[in-house]
Amino acid sequence: MHVRMKLGVAAAATALTGGALGLGAAASAAPPPVPGQNGSHAAHPSPSQPQEEGHGPGAIEVGPQGAAEAMNRLLARDGGRAHWCYGEVLPENGLNVRTGPSLDYPVVGVLARDSKVKTDWDTIERRDGYLWVMMTPHRWIADYKLGPDNGDTVGKWYVKYFNC
Architecture of domain 20-161: Roll (2.30)
Tens of pLDDT along 53-98?
Answer: 999 999 988 888 788 888 777 777 666 555 788 999 999 999 999 9
SS3 readout for the chain = CHHHHHHHHHHHHHHHHCCCCCCCCCCCCECCCCCCHHHCCCCCCCCCCCCCCECCCCCEECCHHHHHHHHHHHHCCCCCCCCEEEEEECCCCCEEEECCCCCCCCEEEEECCCCEEEEEEEEEEEECCEEEEEEECCEEEEEEECCCCCCCCCCEECEEECCC
**Could you state, in order of their start, the residue ranges of all structural domains in the chain?**
20-161
Total-model pTM: 0.64
Query: Which pLDDT score, from 0 to 100, does residue 72 have?
Result: 79
- Is residue 33 very low, low, confident or very high in pLDDT (cuts 50, 70, 90)? very low
